[in-house]
Structure 1
Amino acid sequence: MLVLSACGSKSSTGGEGSAEKIEWKMGHLADEKHIWHKTANEFANLVKEKTDGSIEIKIYPNNSLGGETDTINAIQAGTADLVISGETLQNWAPKAALMATPYAFKNSDHVKAVVEGEIGDEIEAEIKEKAQLTPLFYLNRAPRNLTSSEPIKTPEDLKGFSMRVPNVPLFLNAWEAAGAKPQVMDFNEVFTGIQQGVIDGQENPVDLIQSGGLYEVQKYVNETEHVYSWIYVLVGNKQLESLSDEQREAVLAAAEEAQAFGENLLQEEIEKVKNELKEEGMEFVEVDQDAFREAMTPAIESSLSEEQNELYKRILEVK
């Protein structure tokens, strides 16, 4: 099993009496200033400390290992080890689509109740089985908002509006139903896409709007708040299984501490990020969220399978 994980990670043996050293590669799409990167660094430091240096994690921000899908494929192939990912996981585990269903979650507290309850357990189990990845910990996300060069307040304002969405079929269908022209594009292509007029806008939480430098090419943050969601820090099943019991326990203990670190950081950072975006010249626009919800809901329900719809209804009922 260790041989399998060492295909992507580098293992080395130190001096006399030292344990075998494992080096893991971790990829994510955000920049070095982002909450995810800071939390990943904290996790890596905790893992190194708790394993007495026998496991070292090298972090690759800015999609430098490839996009989320590329990195997940690389983990499965044994050439990478960890990834930060969310709803993109639905391409392997269909229940993961519910991690970021438009207008399914009322707020961050609702997300927390779902992810830490039975529904979260079901989603994690399917990811582990079908994507061959083990969620180590999760991080709540700021709500997703739509950015543009002209203010958008209602679905009627989306006529002819070409926009980027991640590789999530549900997002494509929901935004198309609302009147936009959505297209799938990697996040690292969004800035240039807007700059060159390939797309008119995109949707993301404010931290990724800042991380991607989109304030340089977009004027408005339209507060659709259409998705409250979470992301996971995940490790390949084989990589985790290859560890000794002691190492595995240390990694899981580090994950628990890193999650608490990330939660505190999110609360501190989001208001700060919003203020910094305003300082960069972005304007926050109040929108008719009910109109967007009404426009998207039929497409959401028709896009989900019977099993997904059942989960969707259960999410709506969680208090």
Structure 2
Amino acid sequence: MEITRRTFGLGVAASGAVLAAPAIAASTEVTLKLGHLANEKNPWHLASLKFGEELAKLTDGKVKVEVYPNESLGKEIDLINGMQLGTVDMTITGESLQNWAPMAALLAVPYAFKTQDQMDAFAVSETGKMIEQQIIEKVQIRPIGFFARGPRELTSNEPFKSPDDLNGLKMRVPNVPLFIDVWKSLGARPSPMAFSEVFTALQNGTIGAQENPLALIRSASFYEVQKYVNLTDHVRSWIYTTISEIAWKKLSSEQQQAVMAAAKTAQAYERGLFEKSLADDRKFLEDHGMTFVEVDKAAYQSKAKDAVLSNVNDEIKPIVEKLFS
């Protein structure tokens, strides 16, 4: 039997309307383009390569995956838009999806999850399935697996075991209204700032602290200008591997099953890399002079609660209230 090769695209009618393509034959070779923002050493990238290897194995090489790291295929929002248009097939994305699907905001709510196990259970719960379904319906992209992200921690030059100790601390936060309001409620003076400016601001004393996962604390060399990692764990979040509905519907049912099986393997593979990276990053930072501080997480969570609830929309507020109870 002759085998043909196809990369995904879509037709457009004279009116400009998108023409849905029929499912392809199982003998047709397919190439899926997967773009993401992480670098080549990041567990997300390595797991994406694993996904491609596994999918090729399960389909006897008929479905291949080309992985584009470092935003080389576009920035996150551009990739989502491309998936909706049919010019991109896959990406790794998270709470940015709330621009279309409000429930996606649940992927990164401060102090929503006390432990990794609690977050994992929530991600696969009935509510987690509702989030995925809303993403499919409103964004037209399909979550097929998820990766954990390292919890965000507060670095500083003095320990902050209690939120009462913050007392006007000048710190950098991303330009996210929820994050800004939460840190204000905790007693700090948060200042939005581009990530590229943070090291110099810490070095010259413009700010005294910042918050990020251990991997970024390490890669940005913040250990050179900060003494402590306060284990606030203030945001535990996950992120989805996704495929566009346009690409998904072109696959045969057998190929769809193979995609889901490969995604499951990649998810387990990434989790192993993730857990190792947490341990490696902590050891590296301790070896480079940083002290890790256990904080009163319950006090931080309690003090942040009102700010969190006032920043989430009515659709997810009841769910967040339960998470805080």
After TM superposition, the score normalised by the length of structure 1 is 0.82
Q: Tell me the SS of whatever aligns to 2:315.
A: helix
In the aligned structure 1, how far is the partner of 2:166 from the partner of 2:201?
Answer: 18
1:34 to 42, 54, 70: 42
In the aligned structure 2, how far is the partner of 1:161 from the partner of 1:60?
Answer: 37
By how many angstroms is 1:160 displaced? 5.0
Q: Tell me the SS of whatever aligns to 2:289.
A: coil
In the aligned structure 1, how far is the partner of 2:114 from the partner of 2:75?
Answer: 29
The equivalent of 1:10 in structure 2 is none
Q: Does 1:256 align with 2:264?
A: yes
Structure having the higher Rg: 2
Q: Does 1:157 align with 2:166?
A: yes
In the aligned structure 1, how far is the partner of 2:101 from the partner of 2:49?
Answer: 27
2:105 to 97, 104, 117: 97
After TM superposition, the score normalised by the length of structure 2 is 0.80
Alignment of 1:50-61 (within 5 A): 50-61=58-69
Give the direction of change, closer, same or farther, for the CA distance of 1:282–1:36 in structure 2 (3 Å limit).
Answer: farther
The equivalent of 2:246 in structure 1 is 238
Are 1:84 and 1:234, in contact at CA under 8 Å, matched by a contact in 2?
A: yes
The equivalent of 1:12 in structure 2 is none
> Deviations along 1:192-220, whole A, 9 cap, x unmatched?
21133297454232234334554455443
In the aligned structure 2, how far is the partner of 1:45 from the partner of 1:158?
Answer: 51
Q: Tell me the SS of whatever aligns to 1:306.
A: coil
By how many angstroms is 1:261 displaced? 1.6
Alignment of 1:221-300 (within 5 A): 221-300=229-308
Give the direction of change, closer, same or farther, for the CA distance of 1:89–1:55 in structure 2 (3 Å limit).
Answer: same
Structure 2: runs of 5+ lacking an equivalent: 1-6, 13-25
Q: Does 1:170 align with 2:174?
A: no
Q: Tell me the SS of whatever aligns to 1:229.
A: strand
The equivalent of 2:30 in structure 1 is 21
In the aligned structure 2, how far is the partner of 1:33 from the partner of 1:5?
Answer: 36
Q: Does 1:140 align with 2:148?
A: yes
By how many angstroms is 1:254 displaced? 0.4
Structure 1: runs of 5+ lacking an equivalent: 7-16
Are 2:95 and 2:104, in contact at CA under 8 Å, matched by a contact in 1?
A: yes
Q: Name the amino acid aligned to 2:97.
A: L
In the aligned structure 2, how far is the partner of 1:32 from the partner of 1:3?
Answer: 27
Q: Tell me the SS of whatever aligns to 2:48.
A: helix
Q: Name the amino acid aligned to 1:195.
A: F
Percent of pairs with identical residues: 39
Are 1:5 and 1:242, in contact at CA under 8 Å, matched by a contact in 2?
A: no
By how many angstroms is 1:107 displaced? 0.5
